[in-house]
Amino acid sequence: MASRIVVNADRVKGKIHRNLYGHFAEHLGRCIYEGLWVGEDSPIPNTNGIRNDVLEALKRIKVPVLRWPGGCFADEYHWKDGVGPRDKRKRMVNTHWGGVIENNHFGTHEFMMLCELLGCEPYISGNVGSGTVQEMSEWVEYLTFGGESPMADWRRANGREQPWRVKYWGVGNENWGCGGHMRPEYYADLYRQFQTYLRNYGDNKLHKIACGANSGDYRWTEVLMQQAAPFMDGLSLHYYTVPGTWQKKGPATGFTTDEWWITLKKALHMDELITKHSAIMDVYDPEKRIDLIVDEWGTWYDVEPGTNPGFLYQQNSIRDAIVAGATLHIFHRHSDRVRMANIAQLVNVLQSVILTEGERMLLTPTYHVFDLFKVHQDAELLDSHESVERTGPEGELPKVSASASRAADGKIHISLVNLDFESGASVEVELRGLKGGRLEAAGMTLTSDRIDGHNTFDEPERVKPAPFRGFRIEGARLDVQLPPMSVTVLELTAE
Ligand code: AHR
């Protein structure tokens, strides 16, 4: 039986906010230092200290928004330690991640410069767990105040005349865990207090984001919405795909076929989480004013053998590409409520799009999904209906995941993920409501001949997209033959 997907090209369901393709960079392991920041004196080619190879690769995928400085690090970060002359900045211990020295060379100015170079929105995560209301309030003043004030004057003395624009502001991170082990009632009160002093200076308007739930903790969402909804613009959600237990998560490569299925099943759980958290938010915010922001998501495996356990360095395979594609489709489906998501993390940590080793860099299969899917950013989400084959050991998973959108130039993009590592998938795509004449299509696909196919520094192009010709056009219908374990994007034009 072929899977069938009907796309109603004349029915727009909403907008796929580009921020669903957001990223996250924490002071963790080799993400910031080595991965992004090498310093101006490094032999690695760089722009003001940011390595050029990584910068160029990130520009290509159009990173729309970048969350920083954590994660758990955010609630022990004191931003004043990270401004001013670099050689005078305080050296501290990154107690949460590996107990290594943090020299604070990458601080507020460096982060804002990185965002400017990438052309992306900064998303700053403020410290609630070990910080003060004054400290957070002054960070906003330092960044965004254009007049004369102690913080704005200090910013100028540190070399930045004009205030920056900062929209997204997180008030704490995982305050139910590493951010202070708080009860939701206590955090809700703290949230109300902290956010009061986050001022909008000039025409800079903050989008204030409250710390949200840990995966299925629906009570957290209930309490936050009940007690603090009017004071927030966004509420976050964290959910990681961990194939095993937190103690023994399973390897990133060299895994079993059972681990393939369990990983995908757990990744698809994102749909249920968003559905249930959204239902609670709907009660308090039926107009959907408040965004649900999945600001940490992705796969989390055992660290690569021989690497620092506190650095969370893992490889990335075609399995991660499938997780990325299917998860991004889930975000598309919920784009009436989910308006930002940030995969964890950008470079060298968890489900990264880039890995580095010294001066070498590789693009992971997950990178290629973000590259193929960038056509969905800010596009119109088209109404589509699926009747798909089942797969998995007990037929518990959909074999194919799909999404369709129309870009500003009128082109329609259909992304298709085949979750099955063993067999190809026949998909009949019917397009209704098309204006225009003959349908033309072109496509790219990402696949592998092994379930853990991945790129290495010696063979960085083992898994990369290739032109896709496995389709036939019959009027307004496409018969598509997807390779096993693949992520495919078709571009359609009606001539
Ligand atoms: O992304 C790694 C860690 O996972 C983050 O620091 C934290 O917020 C989460 O628990």
152-193: pLDDT as tens digits: 999 999 999 999 999 999 999 999 999 999 999 999 999 999
- DSSP 8-state class, residue 340: E
Report d(CA 17, CA 336) in Å as an integer. 9
Catalytic, out of 76, 141, 174, 380: 174
Going by alpha carbons, the residue nearest to atom 4 of ligand 1 is: 71
Going by alpha carbons, the residue nearest to atom 6 of ligand 1 is: 71
Strands (E), 72-132: 92-94, 100-102, 121-126
Tokens of 220: 């957290």
Q: What is the pLDDT of residue 440?
A: 93
Percent of the chain with pLDDT over 90: 98
296 is known as an active-site residue: yes
CB-based burial of residue 55 (10 Å sphere; 0-12 exposed, 13-18 middle, 19+ buried)?
Answer: middle
| Structure confidence by residue, pLDDT tens digits, 234-249 | 999 999 999 999 999 9
Residues within 6 Å of ligand 1 by CB? 26, 70-72, 173-174, 296, 344-345, 350
pLDDT at 253 over 80: yes
174 is known as an active-site residue: yes
Contact in structure between 175 and 76 (CB atoms under 8 Å): no
| Structure confidence by residue, pLDDT tens digits, 343-395 | 999 999 999 999 999 999 999 999 999 999 999 999 999 999 999 999 999 99
Percent of the chain with pLDDT over 70: 100
Q: For 128, how many CA atoms within 13 A lie in the half-sphere containing its CB?
A: 32
Question: If you average pLDDT over residues 445-470, what whole number do you get?
Answer: 98
Going by alpha carbons, the residue nearest to atom 9 of ligand 1 is: 71
Going by alpha carbons, the residue nearest to atom 8 of ligand 1 is: 71
35: nearest Cα among 240, 304, 312:
312
* Cα–ligand 1 centroid distance for 295 (angstroms): 10
Catalytic, out of 76, 296, 380, 389: 296
Question: If you average pLDDT over residues 259-264, what whole number do you get?
Answer: 98
Report d(CA 160, CA 86) in Å as an integer. 15
| Structure confidence by residue, pLDDT tens digits, 431-454 | 999 887 789 999 999 999 999 999
Going by alpha carbons, the residue nearest to atom 7 of ligand 1 is: 71
Residues 6+ apart with CB under 8 A from 224: 184, 187, 188, 191, 210, 212, 232, 235
Contact in structure between 219 and 184 (CB atoms under 8 Å): yes
Report the atom number in ligand 1 closest to the C-alpha of 70.
6
Report the atom number in ligand 1 closest to the C-alpha of 24.
1
* Cα–ligand 1 centroid distance for 123 (angstroms): 16
Report the atom number in ligand 1 closest to the C-alpha of 174.
8
Split at pLDDT 50, 70, 90, the class of 32 is very high
* Cα–ligand 1 centroid distance for 61 (angstroms): 23
| Structure confidence by residue, pLDDT tens digits, 264-314 | 999 999 999 999 999 999 999 999 999 999 999 999 999 999 999 999 999
Q: What is the pLDDT of residue 437?
A: 74
Tokens of 54: 């990584």
Q: What is the pLDDT of residue 188?
A: 98
* Cα–ligand 1 centroid distance for 72 (angstroms): 6
